[in-house]
Structure 1
Amino acid sequence: MSKIKVLVVDDARFIRERVASMVRNAFPDSSVDAFENGRDAMKSMQARQYDIILCDWEMPQMSGLELLQWTRTRPEYNTVPFLMVTSRGEREYVLKAIQAGVNDYLGKPFTSEQLVQKIVKALGKGGRLSPEQQERAAKLLQEDGGRKEPTAKSMPKPKGLAQLRCSNQTFKCAIKDLNLREVKVVIKNEWVFPVLLDQVVVDIEQLSGDAVARLNGFVLSVQATEARQDSPYVEVRVQFADDDPEKMAHLSKYIASVR
Structure 2
Amino acid sequence: MAQIIKAPAKINIFLQILGDREDGFTEIISLMQAVSLYDTIRVQRAERGLELSSNEPSLPLDSSNTVAKAWAVMCAAVGKELGAKIDIGKKIPMQSGLGGGSSDAAGAMIGIAREWGLKIDRETMKQLGAAVGSDVPFFFGGGSSLVEGRGEIVTDIAVPTDYALLLVKPPFGISTKDAYRRAKNGLTVGNKKRILNYLHQLTSISKLVELGNALERPFFEAHPGAMEIKKKLLRAGAVATALSGSGSCFFGVFENIDTAEIAKGKFKEFWRETALPAKMPEI
TM-score, with normalisation over the residues of structure 2?
0.30
Q: Which has the larger radius of gyration?
A: 1
TM-score, with normalisation over the residues of structure 1?
0.32
